[in-house]
Amino acid sequence: MSTTVSPSTPAQAPPPEDGPAPQSSRIQQLGAAVLRALLTQRIVLLVVLLVAVIITMMTLSARNYLTAPYDLSYMSATLISAVPLVMLGLAELLVICSGRGGIDLSVGAIVSLTSMIFGFAYGEWAWPLWAAILLAAVFGGLCGAINGFLIAYIGYPALITTLATYYAFSSIAIVINDQQPISSRPIQDFFSAARSVPVGAGGNALQVPLGTLTFLLPTAVVIWLLLNRTTYGRRLYAIGTNDVAAEWSGIDVRRTRCVAYIAAGVISGLVAVVTVAQFASARPDAGVAGNGMALPAITIAVLGGVAITGGIGRVAGVVLATLLIVWLNAGILLAVPGNAGSQFQLFALGIVLIFAALLNGLTQRKYGRTG
């Protein structure tokens, strides 16, 4: 601060100007630009990490260190576990972006409860599939609307509200059918929705899980369009960045924020359909068993560069973060077989998350706010 050149103090020597660049400083500048892009552009960092993971795993695979080959067909088969992660990560993207401490701990519980509702509709009442899926989306949206109403209109803190609804929804999901899963005939046959289909032409067609095409891709595209090509998306970023300024510029902050939670609920409802297909059964604890689905989804969102303070976050970041975690996990499973493998996945997830978060803090101090 004190070295700032001011015209009234000619006695102070001005900082030496960098002369016309010699060759070495050109390279330095390039290096600085690359470093800056790596640190400030989360997407660049994720792509680099992703490539590093794939190259490492393929090398290990080529030298027979892994229990099974890590190739394209394995990588595409593991995408099945990316479907719920990407979708719920996008749900968290919307909610966290809406600002004011936005977060949704209840997505896993909504998945559980909606699984049961979908199970009833499709498995027991014999609704047509399209109607049952529609019901799941609407019901998930209703659950999200409860969150959104309390948070946006009444002013409840998001963390607490969704903690409460997490408890409530998961409890109802278990009690609603007396702790029993629904796995009637139509539900079991619905497993076919989780099968793999060939993508690409002729002999080198890749087997891709159907869920990625029917659920993951459409959701990602719709959310991307919503955020980047509609006024709603602009409004959402605006209220997340500064909701007072947004209010003064005429945005209906409450409605915009409430819609974000409703959308998160709708996505959770669709994830419920995906999980029912994967398990071939509507399980009352589908979204909350073990670590649950909410915590990994939030982790993915944060890793994907969504700022927990709101207003910053991109669809591509969430998708890339999921691919990174899924393909890293898939590699770990081959490198460390058995029970220890799934434990090392926890380790990897934790390390990557903390690393990314610390990096965020560092870049914010070095370059200001990042995207």
Residue 245 CB, shortest distance to another protein, in Å, is: 20
Closest CA to 271 of 314, 316, 215: 215
Distance CA 262, CA 95 (A): 9
Q: C-beta of 285: minimal distance to another protein in Å?
A: 10
- Is 282 a binding residue for another protein by CB under 8 A? The answer is no
Q: Residue 248: CA atoms inside 13 Å, Cβ hemisphere, count?
A: 3
- Point out which residues pair with 228 in neighbouring strands: none
Is 241 among the residues that bind another protein (CB under 8 A)? no
Give the DSSP H or E segment for 229: helix 217-229
Contact present, 317 and 42 (Cβ < 8 Å): yes
- Of the candidate residues 159, 217, 226, 280, the single one contacting another protein (CB under 8 A): 159
Nearest to 348, CA basis, from 369, 371, 321 = 321
Q: Which of 53, 298, 325, 332 binds another protein (CB under 8 A)?
A: 298
State the Cα–Cα distance between residues 197 and 272, nearest whole angstrom. Answer: 21
Give the residue, chosen from 248, 346, 369, 371, that forms a contact with another protein under the rule CB under 8 A: 346
Q: Does 116 bind another protein (CB under 8 A)?
A: no
Which lies closer to another protein via its Cβ, residue 68 or residue 354? 354
**Between 262 and 302, CB nearer to another protein:** 302
Residues near 241 by Cβ (< 8 Å), separated by ≥ 6?
99, 310, 311, 312
What part of residues 77-106 is at the interface with another protein (CB under 8 A)?
A: 101, 103
Candidate list 165, 281, 322, 329; residue touching another protein; CB under 8 A: 165
Whose Cβ is closer to another protein: residue 276's or residue 302's? Answer: 302
337 binds another protein (CB under 8 A): no
Among 21, 350, 369, 371, binds another protein (CB under 8 A): 350
Nearer to another protein, 225 or 354 (CB): 354
Packing angle of the helix pair 339-367, 42-62 (nearest 10 deg)? 150
C-alpha atoms less than 13 angstroms from C-alpha of 192 in its C-beta half-sphere: 5
> Which is closer to another protein, CB of 218 or CB of 350?
350
Exposed / middle / buried, residue 261 (Cβ in 10 Å: 0-12, 13-18, 19+): buried
Asked if residue 274 binds another protein (CB under 8 A), the reply is no
- Binding track, positions 44-73, relative to another protein; x by CB under 8 A: ------------------------------
Residue length of the chain: 371
Comparing CA positions, the residue from 340, 307, 327, 240 lying closest to residue 60 is 327
Q: Which stretch binds another protein (CB under 8 A): 4-12, 49-57, 259-267, 301-309?
A: 301-309
Nearest to 170 by CA among 114, 212, 214, 226: 114
Site for another protein (CB under 8 A): which residue of 33, 72, 213, 357?
A: 357
Site string for another protein, 25-44 (x = CB under 8 A): --------------------
Site string for another protein, 131-150 (x = CB under 8 A): -------------------x
153 is an interface residue for another protein by CB under 8 A: no
Between 107-118 and 294-303, two packed helices, what is the crossing angle to 10 degrees?
130
Complex with another protein: residue 92 or 132, whichever CB lies closer = 92
Q: Rounded distance, CA 91 to CA 98, Å?
A: 11
| Binding residues for another protein (CB under 8 A) | 101, 103, 150, 154-157, 159-161, 163-168, 170-172, 174-175, 178-179, 295, 298-299, 302, 308-309, 338-340, 343-344, 346-347, 349-351, 353-354, 357-358, 360-361, 365
